[in-house]
Amino acid sequence: MSVGILGGSGFYELGDASTTITVETPFGPPSAPVTVASIGGADVAFLPRHGTGHTIPPHRINVRANLWALHSLGVRRLFSPCAVGSLRPDRQPGDMVVLDQLVDRTWGRPDTYFDGPDLHHSMFADPYCPVLRGVAVRAAMAESFTVHDGGTVVVINGPRFSTRAESRWFRSQGWDVINMTQYPEAALARELGMCFAGLGLVTDYDTGAGPEGDGEPVTMEAVFAILADNVERVRGVLARTIESLGGAGSARDCGCAAAGGAARPGLSPRPDSP
């Protein structure tokens, strides 16, 4: 199978799975077994990043194991639907932002397979695959989402939400949305030579970012309510996107593989590195 999905908050299953695969990795267990479902005639690997039932907080996700497991099963195109908070009044709850840039504000997360002795510096100027992005934008429009083609996500460590001062700073930098999981997923996908696309479902306004300068704090309950209302629509976007891949981008001429490194299952990375 060449296509995979990392399910985010509120998205713990893809549909009717035909196979469940337990994968062992040099970096420990992934968040959950990988399930395989047929979409548009293609076998698609699905892994919920927070575990089945949302038991793993963002700063505890074993991202290296998750990406390694999917790559070892043959996944070369990876979709990453995720919840994002809006930092701009025109990015409204219920909208979809197909991400094109990120800013990493996390700390303490293992974020590379190249811990030595083999060294490599992956190209990461453009974290998201342009081919997958284009297909996802068209699919989201077909599912009647209000779609924003491009957007910068600032990734924070979590699990807490931002302070008011942090939110003001993020907005002052011109960043569009905020999230807790896109890094290091995107960086590790690049090291593995995988095409990676981040589909951000806007679930809330970050504190002070609303149309009226709304100062209400973000709550987990409000976030999950928007997720519940839109999870089937997100599935529809993913299904349309995957069905379209037989034509657009099937040759993987986007440059993502060349921009990565030599990190491949069984090769350069040292799983025992600190």
Q: Where are the domains of the chain?
A: 3-259
pLDDT tens for each residue of 15-74: 666 789 999 999 999 999 999 988 877 889 999 999 988 899 999 999 999 999 999 999
What single DSSP character describes residue 58? Answer: G
Cβ atoms 200, 177 nearer than 8 A: yes
Give the residue from 52, 95, 67 showing the smallest Cα distance to 192.
67
How does residue 268 score in pLDDT terms, banded at 50, 70 and 90? Answer: very low
**Structure tokens that stand for 197 in this block:** 């696309």
Give the residue from 8, 11, 16 showing the smallest Cα distance to 36.
16
Asked whether the CA dihedral 62, 66, 72, 73 is positive or negative, the reply is positive
pLDDT of residue 137: 98
* CA 269 from centroid of its chain's CA atoms: 22
d(CA 76, CA 2): 5
pLDDT tens for each residue of 74-125: 999 999 999 999 999 999 999 999 999 999 999 999 999 998 887 788 899 9
Cβ atoms 70, 78 nearer than 8 A: yes
pLDDT of residue 124: 95
**What residues are labeled active site?**
204, 206
Q: What is the mean pLDDT of the chain?
A: 88
**Structure tokens that stand for 64 in this block:** 């290296």
Give the residue from 39, 73, 31 showing the smallest Cα distance to 56.
31
Is the model more confident about 153 or about 251?
153
Domain 3-259 has CATH 3.60.15.10: no
Give the residue from 204, 160, 190, 176 showing the smallest Cα distance to 80.
190
Q: Where do we find the tokens 């497991």?
A: 69
pLDDT of residue 18: 75
